[in-house]
Amino acid sequence: MIPERAYPTHPIVGVSVVVFNDGKILVVRRGREPRKGRWSLPGGVVELGETVRDAARREIREECHIEIEIERALDVLDRIFKDPDGRVQYHYVLVILLARYKSGELHADSDIEAAEWADIHDLARYDLPDEQQQLIAQARAPLYSSEAAKILAQRERTDARRAQRIHVVLERVGQAQSLLDIGCGSGEYLRAAAKLGIPRLVGIDESPERLRQAQANCPHAELHLARADKLTFVDQSFDVVLAAQVLHEIALFGQPGDLERTLSEISRVLKSGGRLIALDHLDPGPERVRVRLPQRVRAQLDYFVQRYQLRKITLEECPDGTLWLSRRDLQDFVTKTWAFGTAIEDLEMRETHCPFDREKIEALLSKARLTLCEWLTFEEISEDLAEHGIELVEGASWPRKFLLIARS
Ligand SMILES: C[S@@+](CC[C@H](N)C(=O)[O-])C[C@H]1O[C@@H](n2cnc3c(N)ncnc32)[C@H](O)[C@@H]1O
């Protein structure tokens, strides 16, 4: 039995859920006090004998007719409302969970007046309580859901050039006593670093599923669920910080300022003279090249042109069947075909593999008081073109990755 909600004799345990669905958040207009008729995160009261997570799933099923997948607990909030006489009219202890939409068609039921998917950039019009707005800003669901993390791990296992990449990075780690891997993903760099005998290996990632993979790959690494822009380590903790193919995700999917905050956190946790080793995609610039594609690949390119969200892909057809397109467009195309038809396709279509050039990176590093010491470019695009059977008719191949070492 649920105790009286108004003027309760004890605090009532409630649950609120930040449900993400492709850049949108589930909000409901409350049908009962407190804040009747106002927008809020969905949720309700935990029933006797019910777990908080079950209560969250049940409430959202009853109120909104959808199923959710719970990722993790975000916070605990006290909601205490007093009446004009100073008596406690409502007292909730609210557990806030982060979840993802799984299935079902949204419609309002039970004790709510309306339910909507609110664009995360347009939350102001819902006038959510301040503390809920802060929670949403902090929460932002991890980029990779459980399913997406599995697909990415599978891709990583079959990526022919990955072993070479890990080798290039690990060669530069040297005699470190401590290494922090930011966005460690499935932990393959940590596993390779363990073979170097580095005593302290730490990995952080924002995705619980990816951390589970890292745990299996490198059981003796210390792993933390955390965001790169909020590191929980004390100053000067590590000899080496590694950031392999994560900076572009922070730049593209983080909040404004996350990349700058991440680099400043890296600088803070590096020991004096410690090194950041970063590997990421390199922007080949807007220059155009002329290519000839096999028919099957041409059909894939047409599909890519339709699906890619980040910018308009422009093709110029030549009478001899060849095509002009920018190096950026070609690089994003050939490095993303693997994701077509997978649960990760939407995400890949909102991301670019041309995020940084050296100038941009140097400016970011210097803002974080990190000094660039080594800059290496590698992985020729010609290898990707060959894999796709694409002939480069005009223009030369270019490297599509960089590796840098910066000192604090
Ligand atoms: C492309 S994967 C690379 C994984 C690994 N470094 C590698 O190269 O194998 C990027 C990883 O960074 C994580 N990530 C993305 N943004 C993050 C952030 N702001 N904080 C922590 N991890 C993040 C993702 O969950 C993902 O596991």
| Per-residue model confidence as pLDDT tens digits over 294-351 | 999 999 999 999 999 989 999 999 999 999 999 999 999 999 999 999 988 988 998 9
* 36 vs 57, residue with greater confidence: 57
Q: Is the pLDDT of residue 238 over 80?
A: yes
Residues with C-beta less than 6 Å from any ligand 1 atom: 142-144, 156, 183-185, 188, 204-207, 210, 227-228, 244-246, 249-250, 254
Q: How far apart are the CA of 182 and the centre of ligand 1, in A?
A: 7
- The tens digit of pLDDT for each residue in 243-283 reads 999 999 999 888 778 899 999 999 999 999 999 999 999 99
CB 229 within 8 A of CB 196: no
| Alpha-carbon gap, residue 184 to 227, rounded angstroms | 11
Residue nearest (by alpha carbon) to ligand 1 atom 20: 227
- Kindly give the number of the ligand 1 atom that is closest to the alpha carbon of 156: 9
Residue nearest (by alpha carbon) to ligand 1 atom 23: 183
Domain architecture of the chain: domains with CATH:
12-139 (3.90.79.10), 146-282+347-407 (3.40.50.150)
Backbone φ/ψ region at 137: left (φ over 0), alpha (ψ -120 to 50), beta: alpha
Backbone φ/ψ region at 187: left (φ over 0), alpha (ψ -120 to 50), beta: left
Q: Is the pLDDT of residue 160 over 90?
A: no
- Kindly give the number of the ligand 1 atom that is closest to the alpha carbon of 210: 27
Beta bridge partners of 102: none
Least confident of 120-124, 172-176, 401-405: 120-124
**74-78, 108-112, 260-264 — most confident range:** 260-264
Candidate from 154, 188, 205 with most ligand 1 atoms within 8 A of CB, to mutate: 205
Q: Is the pLDDT of residue 2 over 80?
A: no
Task: Please give the mean pLDDT across all residues of the chain.
Answer: 91
Locate tokens 């999917």: which residue? 253
How many angstroms separate the Cα of 253 from the Cα of each of 246, 289, 345?
A: 11, 29, 15
Q: Is the pLDDT of residue 206 over 50?
A: yes
- Name which of 381, 180, 390, 205 is nearest 281 in CA terms: 381
* 11 vs 157, residue with greater confidence: 11
| Alpha-carbon gap, residue 285 to 296, rounded angstroms | 27
Candidate from 249, 260, 348, 353 with most ligand 1 atoms within 8 A of CB, to mutate: 249
Q: How far apart are the CA of 161 and the centre of ligand 1, in A?
A: 18
| Alpha-carbon gap, residue 147 to 150, rounded angstroms | 5
Q: How far apart are the CA of 207 and the centre of ligand 1, in A?
A: 8
pLDDT at 372: 97
Q: How far apart are the CA of 42 and the centre of ligand 1, in A?
A: 29
CB 183 within 8 A of CB 207: no
Q: How far apart are the CA of 2 and the centre of ligand 1, in A?
A: 42
pLDDT band for position 156 (50/70/90)?
A: confident
Q: Is the pLDDT of residue 1 over 60?
A: no
How many angstroms separate the Cα of 246 from the Cα of each of 185, 236, 339?
A: 9, 21, 18
Report field, pTM of the whole predicted structure over 0.75: no
Candidate from 154, 206, 223 with most ligand 1 atoms within 8 A of CB, to mutate: 206
Mean pLDDT of 87-95: 93
